[in-house]
Amino acid sequence: MPASDDAMRLLFTAQRGSRSLAGEELLKALPSATRETWLSPEVGVLRWPRSWRDAVRALQIAPPLWTRHVCPGEVILPLARHPQDVEALVEAAGPLAEGLDRARPFSVQTRLLGEGDWPYGRFELNEALSQDWVARGGRLDVRNPAQVLSLNVTPEQAYVGLSWAADNLSNWAGGEQRFRRERGQISRAEFKLLEALAVFRIVLPSGGQALDLGAAPGGWTRVALHRGMRVVAVDPADLHPSLGQHPQVRHAPIVAQRFLTEDKRRFDLLLNDMRMDARGSCQVMLRAYDHLAEGGTAIMTVKLPQRQQARIAQRALSDLTRRYALIGARQLFHNRSEITVALMRL
């Protein structure tokens, strides 16, 4: 059944500590929306009296910084918390298949929100809905879907909606993009860079040169190496032993500021995950601008204090875009008290 007031719902996900900032930025970008409830500490619901396409257009004009995932709730189904809910959800989602592009792959993304025992699991729901939509002519691709049937289930009701994956801000349910730990991985910081490359759709140039500022122990350096790049890793601290003798890595054991003063080369990629306050890190990146080749990309994290996060983040973006073109900025799943920023030299 549709929402009783004929308005759809927008479900959004953000970190617990940033959820109020996410709600505020969405209400600013979507002035027709109104707050409704929180389904979990990280998932909120807005009432939206217009179309999903209208919401997508508005968020393209004002890209969210604190919201990592958004999806439509076109159908709201009361639940009995009984195994028969599975069949009821399959039936309720059926009419949405009329909007499915059968030439493009889809996936079902289910989230169970709330505490307690469930009479069914996430994978059971995914399988039941996927089988039904495949029978309706859909082409299932869990790893790389172009379309997503989003299913957000609470003990009381379920929210169901169909959207293009690109319009959800992330291809992953709730923006929870997870990576398998690889053999030889140096640090979990690698996940931050891998997620940034995926979310901002950045392809690193194989054979290009990267400058990794504040590189130790070398997680981001390792990611660039695996993309076929040569890396100058700048940090007074030691790199991981696996990088020490790597032929594609040159370690400059000095601080970033000194390197940028003494070395005049240009690089295809600038990386910066330094443990430095937002203002200091941005100043380093502004100095590094002249070391970036035309058309080159820069990826950095901006560390944020517990207070005034929004003001400091916006100030950092304002400073950076005095010189760089902004590709995107977001608090990603693998970020903590920081945002990830992708930049370009035009």
What's the chain's length in residues?
346
DSSP-assigned letters across all residues of 217-275:
T-HHHHHHHHTT-EEEEE-SSPPPHHHHT-TTEEEE-S-HHHHHHH----EEEEEE--S
∠ CA 264-268-269, rounded to 5°: 100
Active site residues: 303
CA distance 95 to 97: 5
CB 278 within 8 A of CB 302: yes
Select from 98, 158, 96 the least CA-distant residue to 122: 158
Positive or negative: CA dihedral 183, 186, 192, 197: negative
Select from 221, 217, 288, 208 the least CA-distant residue to 250: 221
CB 14 within 8 A of CB 339: no
Structure tokens of 35? 């707050």
CB atoms inside a 10 Å sphere around CB 60 = 10
Q: Which run of H or of E encompasses 21?
A: helix 19-29
CA distance 75 to 113: 17
Positive or negative: CA dihedral 17, 175, 166, 328: positive
Select from 145, 95, 165, 86 the least CA-distant residue to 120: 86
CB atoms inside a 10 Å sphere around CB 246 = 18
CB 272 within 8 A of CB 242: no
CA distance 205 to 152: 38
